[in-house]
Structure 1
Amino acid sequence: MKGNEQSGISRKDFVKQFSLGLGALGTGVFFPNMLSANFVEGTTLNPKKVLVIGAGLSGLAAAWELKNSGHQVTLIEARSRPGGRVSTIREPFADGLYAEEGAAAYSSSYTHALKFINEFGLEKIPLAFPDTAITYHLNGNIINVKPGETVNWPYNLTAEEQELGPMGLVQKYILNTLPNEIGMPHMWDKAPLIHLDQISLEEYLKKQGASEGAVKLIKNTQWFAEVPGSTSGLSMAVSDSGLFMGGTPFILKGGNDSLPRELAKSMKDNINYNTVVSKIYDDGNKVIVSARQDGRIKDFTADKVVATFPLKVLENIDFKPSLSPEKKKAIKDIPVINLTRTYVQVDSPFWMENNVSGMAFTDLPVGNITPIVNSNGISDKPAILESIVAGPSAPRLESQDKEKTITRMKSEMKKLYPDIGEHFMKGHVKGWSTDPYALGGPSWPAPGDVTSHLRNLQEPHGNIHFAGEHTSILRSTMEGALRSGVRAAKEIHENV
């Protein structure tokens, strides 16, 4: 969610908002912050020449830690910018408008992110609750829910479930039932957390007594429940409930890419952009990385390599010697969740005239909708309605012409905002499965995947170390990416 700056929310107000079904929120109420930071310590007496592949958050964190510890670091990045899937777009929007193509929010529980955010003095903007109605399109019904209003949710729910609403259901069936260890990600491979990997989010909800209708309501209103039957209960518990919802969510003023841009700026002399890696050869003494840079093949040589390719890109890299069968299987088997984001710019936030927030949760092909307004909240300036479609339908959207996607999403939005055609200016589409340097959204382990594959994803391959959110129990988060980069840096620094 996005909104104007606010100082925080009291427990009383939080519980009140829970009953409104506003979607996932960082709370800082139910879970203590047990996510301790663990960075590289000391300056090396035996500096290594390290090549970091990828200038996303994981690569930037690894490079930062290694450089500050005395190692000789070079970063190579396929794109012309840093950040990877942390991507803030400012074009083609009107002046003052920007939107996030990738990672949507940080949390005050993100210890590693906070270290870097504070290091660069970046301004945090807490996410605010809308003070006008949120729109729901569920099971053929359109409902505008005002703050404090009780509504009839259009599913077969128990009387208690009806009273609770979407976030009340999350509180009852998830937050109140998970073990305290969800705030201790290092405990992921021990009881009681490890047992959660054997069941899906949907199975977990039903074990706690959730009705079929409650599962559907949670699915259509919560970002982490898009594919409840294919989501590891462990990943949901640690990454979504214990981490993100264990703190207050916020965005960075000027865009979430402010963090990777500042990290990259501090290492600008160490970064090579527009450099696409194809082969990595480790002869036991040094590593040779072959890449295409400005249309020509260029080889980079290093003592150690940190590889931060996204999962589906990693499948296409030629490693010699070949990766272990266990690592290959892990790379192939771990799913990613595909995301298509469509941005419809309008000449003004016209929905305000009807006393609705512009935010919508739906079971329509348009997915969920977030309003993005001028940072000063000026009502007569252009604004954006952003559609987020996640899961199996996203790649199908991306396979068609972008103008067709914009037209279709605008048509779906018209069911919620009948006047949108009169205000439409332009559109933009970001499909992550068609992005050649991502080939999909973040990792999304299914039941059993964490137990079977996480250790193999983390394991070094000779002089090649691996990082990325998919190598962290904190999957699909910026914090997970940062921590994975620090972990890879520590492996190199402490074993030189």
Structure 2
Amino acid sequence: MFSEGGMSRRSFIERLGGVGGTALVLAGMSALGFGIEAQAYEPPALSGGTKGKKIIVLGSGVAGLTSAYELAAAGYDVTVLEARNRVGGRSYTARKGTQLTELGGEAQTCTFDAGHYINPGPWRIPYHHSGYLHYAKKFGVGVELFNNENDHSYINFERGSGPLKGKPVRKQEIAADIRGYATEMLAKQVKQGALDAEFSPGDKELFLDYLRGEGYLTPKDLKYEGVDGRGFIENPGAGLKPGPGVESKPHALTDILHSNTWRTVRSVAGWEQQRTMFQPIGGMDQLPAGFMRNMKPKVLLEHVVDKISQTPDSVTVAYTTAKGQKGAMTADYIVCTIPLSVLRGIDMQVSPTFKEAIGGVSYALVGKIGIQMKTRFWEDNHQMYGGHIYVDDPMIATISMPSTGWLGQKGVVLGYYGQGANAARVSAMTHKDRLELALAAGQKVFPEYRENAESAFSIAWHRVPFNMGGWAQWNEEGRAKYYPTLTEPDGRIYLAGEHLSYLTGWQEGGIESAWQQIEKIHKRVHAA
């Protein structure tokens, strides 16, 4: 496994990752003195007056609402123009009565029971998204824990081979076994002296102690033989039966490897994902509602932007209302938070370079479906509270159990969360066929799935008017060539949104982008 010669700390960490995944990597990094810190953010202080300037904000997603709220609080004359009949943009919750008609699609009306909902757009908040949490606290928007990883969930992979193919298996079994076998192999290499050159005096035994605990290895021969945390065939209980219960036995390493179920095992999926995250109580539309309860600016709904023009001294927005009335509004500056996928189709008086940059990014093809179930069978029969079902069907990608309404009667399950070309294929289906696709996948994991389905609501963001995609997908070339151009104003036009951040797809990206742009405007006002 390891060469006879020495290796650098970096190589050592890389090899830990190869055999034990992120858990071993983070443990190794901690042992070698590395750490990961979070950074807090606050809105800019827009002090010193506004000189009577007027600002138009285009779009009322979180970037637009953030911009409007902070600018108005500083004293600017702010008006928000929103194309839809609601605020929030992709910070959106589908509940009883929600209506949606995709481009070229059928009309949907959500028929979930009162109190039940699905978040078709953003649905979880990392702990380090300080901007979002700042406004949630400021506006009294309560949050609750989102169970983003559940060891007692199922993995159902059908594209591998061996006895685990197409067999729902608990994630805790795979996690315990693959890491147990990995630590066993590493521990034996360490004990045999393969890494002696890398250890300081006393470190070797300490590291072996760590491996024994990490992989639940036997104390002397460093062998993985299973652990109670992987689950029981019969759970322990009272009396003699079940009494101590019957422990389960590890899967063979070769079966795990060839089933590909090991690919789901991570201790930390990445900077943007944690085992437990946050979600706003009552739905993702609660933060936009919080902004609106505290907003000073006028928010004009169903005002579709037709044209943006500017002179050296002002900027004008031409628009059409829902009743077909044409109008125009002039201001000193614009903060435009319209997605670039939509903005590229609007007549704008900007430089050719700026116009080219707007067209220099693609947008994610992404779709979801929420299914209301008449019983919470995943809790009642499978003891699964929140978390995801892992499947290797790219049309489905993820099935997720709700992290709200615990122990209730009903609940709304996320039936699929597809992206890319597969999301495009699903979006071409009727709503009925989308639901059938989701039910067929869920039935393979839960025998109760289909019979419990009551109603559903689906969305394909790349077919939603005024969005035309889930989030910006910058490639390396676009980041280098176009991204810097768009972070700076073109005349009196400033852009903001998740697309002008490295947190694309997250509300935090829109919030922090808005903070940066409104601070630039404020400094410009005071520099004049």
In structure 2, runs of 5+ residues without a counterpart are 1-19, 25-33, 97-110, 187-256
| Residue identity opposite 1:335 in structure 2 | S
Deviations 1:251-309 (A, max 9, x none): 11111221111112322651001111121011222111111112211111111111111
Distance 1:163 1:400, change over 3 A: farther
1:48-447 matched pairs, under 5 angstroms: 48-91=53-96, 92-128=111-147, 133-138=152-157, 139-140=159-160, 141=165, 142-145=167-170, 147=172, 150=175, 160=182, 241=271, 244-245=272-273, 249-267=277-295, 270-294=298-322, 295-320=324-349, 322-325=350-353, 327-355=354-382, 357=384, 359-364=388-393, 365-372=395-402, 375-378=405-408, 380-447=409-476
State the match for 1:207 in structure 2. Answer: none
Instruction: State the partner residue of 1:205.
Output: none
Task: Give percent identity, aligned residues only.
Answer: 25
- Spell out, residue by residue over 1:84-141, the C-alpha distance to the aligned partner (whole angstroms, 9 max, x if none): 1110121221122112111111222122222211211221212236767211122252
Structure 1 runs, 4 residues or longer, greater than 6 Å off: 16-20, 129-132, 161-164, 216-222
Q: Is the 8 A contact 2:365 2:419 kept in 1?
A: yes
CA distance in 2, matches of 1:307, 1:130: 36
Counterparts in 2 of 1:296 and 1:220: CA distance versus 1, 3 Å:
farther
Which residue does the alignment assign to 2:498?
469
Write the distance in 2 (CA, Å) between the matches of 1:474 and 1:421: 36
- 2: CA distance, partners of 1:88 / 1:221: 30
- Is the Cα contact below 8 Å between 2:415 and 2:442 reproduced in 1? no
Change (3 A) 1:38 1:282: same
Gap change, CA 1:80 and 1:221, over 3 Å in 2: farther
What letter matches 1:288 in structure 2? Answer: T
Moved more, 132-141 or 72-81: 132-141
Q: Aligned partners of 1:292 and 1:75: how far apart in 2?
A: 14
Alpha-carbon separation, structure 1, partners of 2:261 and 2:341: 31
Q: Is the 8 A contact 1:468 1:484 kept in 2?
A: yes
Contact persistence 1:35–1:111 (CA under 8 A) = yes
Per the TM alignment, residue 353 of structure 1 is displaced from its structure 2 partner at its CA by 4.4
SS at structure 1 position matched to 2:362: coil
In structure 2, C-alpha distance between the alignment counterparts of 1:437 and 1:159, rounded to whole Å:
51
Native 8 Å contact 1:133 1:144 kept in 2: no
Cα distance change on mapping 1:43 and 1:117 into 2, 3 Å:
farther
Take 2:396 and 2:295, find their aligned partners in 1: how far apart are those partners? 40
Deviation for aligned residue 1:356: 5.1
C-alpha distance in 1 between matches for 2:424 and 2:274 = 31
Cα separation, 1, equivalents of 2:184 and 2:343 = 45
Which residue in 1 is equivalent to 2:27?
Answer: none
Displacement of 1:470: 0.5
Q: How far off is 1:63 after superposition?
A: 0.8
Question: Computing the radius of gyration over CA atoms, which structure comes out larger, 1 or 2?
Answer: 2
Gaps of 5+ in 1: 1-15, 21-28, 165-212, 226-239
Q: Which has the higher contact order (CA 8 A, sep 6+)?
A: 1
CA displacement, residues 343-396 of structure 1 (integer Å, 9 cap, x when unaligned): 122211223344252731111122201112762422x33443432112221122
Cα shift at 1:314? 1.3
Change in 2 beyond 3 A, CA 1:162/1:344: farther
Aligned to 2:42, which of 23, 26, 37? 37
Greater mean alpha carbon deviation, residues 474-483 or residues 354-363 = 354-363
Distance change >3 Å, CA 446–CA 319, structure 1 → 2:
same
Give the superposed CA RMSD.
3.3
Change (3 A) 1:402 1:276: same
Letter in 2 for 1:63: A
CA drift at 1:39: 1.1
SS in 2 for 1:301: strand
State the distance in 2 between where 1:429 and 1:449 align: 31
CA distance in 2, matches of 1:448, 1:159: 41
Distance change in 2, residues 1:19/1:487 (3 Å): closer
Using the size of structure 2 for normalisation, the TM-score is 0.69
Quick one: distance in 2 between partners of 1:161 and 1:296?
Answer: 69
* Whole-angstrom distance in 1 between the partners of 2:276 and 2:450: 36
1:339 maps to amino acid:
V
Closer/same/farther in 2, CA of residues 30 and 376 from structure 1, 3 Å limit:
same
Q: 1:59 to 1:247 in 2, by over 3 A?
A: farther
Contact 1:280 1:289 in 2 (8 A): yes
- What secondary structure sits across from 1:87 in the alignment? coil
Contact 1:109/1:247 (8 A) holds in 2 = no
Bigger drift between 354-363 and 465-474 goes to 354-363
Task: Tell me if structure 2 keeps the 8 A contact 1:454–1:473.
Answer: no
Contact 2:95 / 2:116 at 8 angstroms: preserved in 1? yes
What SS does the aligned partner of 1:372 have? coil
Q: Distance in 2 between matches of 1:121 and 1:94?
A: 25
The answer to whether the Cα contact below 8 Å between 2:120 and 2:369 also exists between their aligned partners in 1 is: no
After TM superposition, the structure 1 stretch with the greater mean CA deviation from structure 2, 53-62 or 107-116, is: 107-116
CA–CA distance in structure 1, aligned partners of residues 185 and 92 of structure 2? 39
Q: Structure 1 residues 58 and 373, CA, compared in 2 at 3 Å: closer, same or farther?
A: closer
